[in-house]
Amino acid sequence: MRFCPPPLPVQDYAVEAGIQLLDGAGIAERIRTLDADKQAKLLLRAFEGDYQTPTCAACGVKMVERQGKVGSFWGCRNYPSCRVKLARANALTMAV
């Protein structure tokens, strides 16, 4: 049997790896300090491609709209091997 050390809390891991963690407010503050043209470029980049279709958190592929008994929902494109669903009201449901 292989021994696996318990995982480090993410904050400790970040310090060890030299990664600076930012929360939402920290990221917004960083963006606010950028020049206007850099903010505009970032905005264009953020809205590139299909940003209105959610991505399956398990597979990383775009989800598809499906019809269920009680209405439409986002379902993983890899169904039935992946059963991740996302309600149109943005509640994530994972059935394994």
Residues that bind Zn ion (CB under 5 A): 56, 58-59, 76, 78, 82, 84
Nearer to Zn ion, 36 or 96 (CB): 96
Residue 65 identity = E
Alpha helices, DSSP H, located in 18-66: 24-32, 36-46
Work out how close the CB of 85 gets to Zn ion at its nearest, in angstroms, rounded to a whole number. 10
Work out how close the CB of 72 gets to Zn ion at its nearest, in angstroms, rounded to a whole number. 17
Nearer to Zn ion, 20 or 81 (CB): 81
Q: Which two tokens stand for residue 26?
A: 């920290």
Q: What are φ and ψ of residue 72, in 5° steps?
A: -90, 155
Nearer to Zn ion, 84 or 86 (CB): 84
Work out how close the CB of 93 gets to Zn ion at its nearest, in angstroms, rounded to a whole number. 12
87, with CB counted inside 10 A (0-12, 13-18, 19+), is middle
